[in-house]
Structure formats: structure tokens, C-alpha cells
A and B are shown apart, each in its own frame.
Chain A
Amino acid sequence: SQTIHQWPATLVQPVGSPLSLECTVEGTSNPNLYWYRQAAGRGLQLLFYSVGIGQISSEVPQNLSASRPQDRQFILSSKKLLLSDSGFYLCAWSVRGREAFFGQGTRLTVV
């Protein structure tokens, strides 16, 4: 069966520090991968999506970047965090024509 791993669950980082959130998927090949951010009480904002290794599409210009070094690995990064980067980050995967499956999320607080 397919599973998605996202870590860490919570993270507190100072302003100006770097960020690296990792997401891995098991049990499927060549999935579409997504990174979302959700502010408190708000909907999900799509940040990045990827349809293959090294293929990244950005939806919103921001202080973040994404990479897909392996088929089932998706990484969200920042060189210098801002206060506005705080939020709930979710990784998701899907295959063609099917629904998406989400990780448990990372609660990031930038202080």
C-alpha cells in the first residue's frame, strides 16, 4: 500500500534561518507531488507541484523553493525564513486520474 511521510511534525525556527522540509512517498512510482501551505483558519494555498524528477512548477512567488531529487522525494526549502513563512505545510501525492493523498503536515513557527 502507498504511504506518505512528512517530517518534522512541528518546527520552530528563528527569522533568517534556513528551512528544509522533506516528504517521501512509498508504494507508487512517478507520482505527482505537491506542497501546500495553510494559514490559521484559511484554505490551502498550492506552493509547488512536480510531475517528475527535477520538474518543479511554482504557483506563488515567495521566499521558498522546492526540489525533487528522486522520484518519490519532495523537498521544500528556504535560505532565510521570514515571519510570514509561518504556517501549516502539507505535502501530497497523486497519480493520474486519481485523488490526492496528504501527509500529516508540518506546523512551522518562525520567531
Chain B
Amino acid sequence: LAKTTQPISMDSYEGQEVNITCSHNNIATNDYITWYQQFPSQGPRFIIQGYKTKVTNEVASLFIPADRKSSTLSLPRVSLSDTAVYYCLVGVNNNAGNMLTFGGGTRLMVKP
């Protein structure tokens, strides 16, 4: 499984755009990139998933360069409620038993 590297923590202010970058130099051809959000004492929640280029949904955007060795989660105009831990996962979830392995995540603190 491809290993991921993320910043341990980030600070931001309400209304700003936040970009969290994840490095995954050993990403395989079939691997997807998935981001999760976790609030204290809750299970992680899926945010967005992509394979290449750009993916956008109602919550975030995911930018993936052509070499796919990194990805950037972009949160537009964050609010205090976006304070959470964000995890980047790389892999292919198939019935061969691929595991969902989480790294340490990035702790985002949004300040007023």
C-alpha cells in the first residue's frame, strides 16, 4: 500500500480557503485517493475521492497532478465547524481484501 505523508497540523481563520497537501510517491496505477474528515469522538466521514486531475463536490475540491504523487484537498471558506482531523488515504478498495489504512492525518484548527 502506498504510504502517505501529511502535515501534522494547520491553522486557519474563518472565511479563508484551506489547502492540505498529501504526498504519496509510491502510488500505484490502480490506486484512488480518498480524503476523510474526523471530529472528536466520532468515526471518520468520507469527503471526496479522485483518481486524477480535479474533482469537486459540494464540500471540497481535490487536485491531483499528472504524476499523481501528491494531492491537495481544498476547503473553500472554512468555518469553525471545519475544525477536525483530515486523513488522506491511497489505495484500491477491492474484494481482494485491500485494507483501509489511515495515516496520522492533519489536524486543522479554524480560528475566529
Contact = CB atoms under 8 A, between A and B. Distances in A.
B96 to A, nearest CB: 8
Contacts of A34: 99-100
Given A51-B95, A96-B95, A98-B93, A46 B100 contact: yes
Main secondary structure of the interface of B (DSSP, over half): loop
A26 B64 CA distance: 34
A32 to B, nearest CB: 7
A104 B32 CA distance: 25
Given A32-B95, A44-B44, A92-B43, A100 B87 contact: no
B94 interface: yes
Contacts of A99: 34, 36, 46, 49, 93
Given A32-B95, A51-B95, A97-B94, A43 B104 contact: yes
Nearest to A105: B43
